Structure 1
């Protein structure tokens, strides 16, 4: 039986999530019908920070992004990864095609300008053709080259084909490593793997007093090699960041809604209303 405090906390946060979903639906509609193009990245970043605030996810960051553009590549542990990265480094994400068909979430992902990918070489070429203009124009794209999630204790092979666009335009590649803390009772609750269902996983997080995630930005590099070499280099950078103690200390934990996040010396004000 759940502790009454945890149950009350979960119910209150669930109500906040419902409100956030309504706000997200309104934002998606605004982007779709606006007579002028609305860049979805700032709206998405704001919404993701609100979500992290409701879930009491505290973010600790080490390192600074080398540039406001390029390709961000990270290990993949959970659906929370998207919220954490989007809140710090606004950009457009690469997502599997199945996400487009998820109720509401799919519409939100599409409105946010996500690039959807299907399995197969032809689909990958189509994705590359869409990513290249974005990278050439100075945009930021975020992807998870493992192609699946893990428990966070290892880094799987990075798929070279996902680096084709970066190689073609000599983009900046920013490796990023994510490490989640455990629940107060020692459970590793953040990973969303295998046959895990979204709703039970969300409800489990809603009942926690909080969760911490460490974000480690490894040194960035220019894509001047072929895509296979880029994939191996990026994977090694992420794996090394997870294995080693950061050379610089982590910034104090940020609880969105109460503090200011500082990334690369630029203050990012926390969202209002996340308590």
Structure 2
């Protein structure tokens, strides 16, 4: 069983704009998936179908073997947690702990279970000591972590994030990247949209390129050093790959580790790539 199975998904807005057109995908359990493409590619609309914020007009969406429909929306949302791009759209309670407790309470958990899952969720994102703080006293990156904690407290199998790196400073980006890696180690399937090709190239095991509501290509992170696909998706190569292109190498690394190995072999063994 896959975490996500999508067949022929199409969605059109009332003004006739086709935000998504005939998308078909299989995402295995435990995957780390990065969805990339220009603004207006349909990424957010696609993500909103994964936990029932939007329902398929054509085609089908299956989450952990459960077909998405109006009747199954509540069950799907227990399987898929969606973290919005702007945490201010998601973190709205008077204190951090009240916000994180909101989801589990609506799921009907007991008070004892709510206390346990919320403590664990805040601990996993490094925000337990802030549980009595008002969200508006937090930094943008801290609010993002609280939003993620609120989703984790509902114990989803799949975590979906819309632009989790947007508007974060470098330290905040590193913290979120480490958090996402940790969630995957815990067995969560992670799917996110991003414009950050450097992060996607080093973190994801699956890359999906979208443009104009359609999937251009799906594959491994090597897609992000393929100049033809990068050009079609209106993206740019990772910084390291651009450096090696200037060195006139045929092969371009996508991570710092790959670059270091290639440079070592070029210097010590006169190896060409």
- Structure 2 length-normalised TM: 0.36
* Structure of greater relative contact order (alpha carbons < 8 Å, 6+ residues apart): 1
